[in-house]
Structure 1
């Protein structure tokens, strides 16, 4: 049985114990949370019994949680290459989606700006034509230019029709503008989603990388400790002191909060003979 299987057996044992404890707690929870009015002595007795039973239940659940974390860690380390490849592929896909959405957004924004600008120019031109026709008519009247008055009146009627046409066209353009703006909102939401997913997967990948690097650190720290133990041993054999090595403290990464220090160096140094030292 490998380490993961052994941990799984222990975790399942604690979970089974927790279920047994919960089976005894459940009736008491129903009484405490129910609508039935209980006498003070009876209520105190139930609460006391509930608290007594909940302690081993919480303990079993906690131990199961700790073991589950250890199992997950070992499974991730065992499958690190496959997991990391999957994370990187997913991140690449989400980044590609974001790029495609940004290109779509740029296209929509360009078209929206073009339509907005054209709508403004069309209305400005139509209003100016009507104003110019009215001004020409007024000037013709002021100067008694009958022919000019007649022409200006015709121009004014034409400008009024053009303005009405431009106004209707502008109304349709505003509908298109509104639709484009709504589409931009939707695209922005998809972009935000792609960014969130990318960051979430990136965080998961970095947590896996952290576990892998912790194990690599521990392996290299153990190698350093073995070398330090040999150095400690040879210095002792030569009758010297290990002044610098006595200050050594190496943290153990990952599970627990252990450290390797000079005490362990001293203990390890005892396993090396002269032959071990000289076979560099």
Structure 2
């Protein structure tokens, strides 16, 4: 009984319930879009920092290598002034490399923080998607209930016409062979099929005079 009452209430309030579901889904979809935009921004920034860090370290190492090469060449050719210049360049390159290494360490911390933030955003995206799917599923259950009710109403209308047709067959003395195989499933509260038995029952409601009113098939007698 409680299930039937709940179903009736759901059908009565179906429009407002569905509007609430749609609004909630739109909200979570907007949240997901905003999070995806944030994720894209973070990803771009992370890639830029990682690339810059690699380039800075590569330049610093290359500068130290070039200074060492110049020093070795100056020594080999006995170039005293060149040796002094190369030695000064080597010391400068070593200092720059040390600074670059420290900068790279700090950049590494920033990169780790960005990766952590990305992981957090990804988690929020998953949560938003799960919330959306959950609400969507509830909305589909509501749609299922409404469609079942519409199906049953359409089937009842069909069987009212079928009852008139069955009565017409009887009055003409014809067999209803084509309708004997009819089986239309009931949805929702009741499990079962509507068959020719229901047609036969409904046919008793109609007289020949009723059947001659061709324009009144939409205003039919119901059990």
Same topology, TM > 0.5: yes
How well do the aligned residues superpose, as a CA RMSD in angstroms?
Answer: 0.8
Name structure 1 gaps, 5 residues minimum.
1-66
Residue of structure 2 equivalent to 1:201: 135
Q: Quick one: which of 201, 212, 215 aligns to 1:267? A: 201
User: What pairs with 1:1-280 in structure 2 (closer than 5 Å)?
Assistant: 67-280=1-214
Q: Deviations over 1:42-64 (max 9, x none)?
A: xxxxxxxxxxxxxxxxxxxxxxx
Q: Deviations over 1:156-203 (max 9, x none)?
A: 001011111111111111111111111101100110000000000000
Counterpart Cα distance in 1 of 2:99 and 2:7: 71
Query: Which portions of structure 1, spanning 4 or more consecutive aligned residues, are displaced by more than 3 angstroms?
Result: none
Counterpart Cα distance in 2 of 1:190 and 1:71: 38
Name structure 2 gaps, 5 residues minimum.
215-223
Counterpart Cα distance in 1 of 2:11 and 2:123: 35
Q: More displaced, 249-258 or 92-101?
A: 249-258
Counterpart Cα distance in 1 of 2:85 and 2:34: 56
The alpha-carbon deviation at position 143 of structure 1 amounts to 1.7
The alpha-carbon deviation at position 256 of structure 1 amounts to 2.5
Paired residues in the alignment total: 214
Q: More displaced, 240-249 or 137-146?
A: 137-146
The alpha-carbon deviation at position 68 of structure 1 amounts to 2.7
Structure ranking higher on relative contact order (CA contacts 8 Å, 6+ apart) = 2
* Structure 1 length-normalised TM: 0.75
* Structure 2 length-normalised TM: 0.94
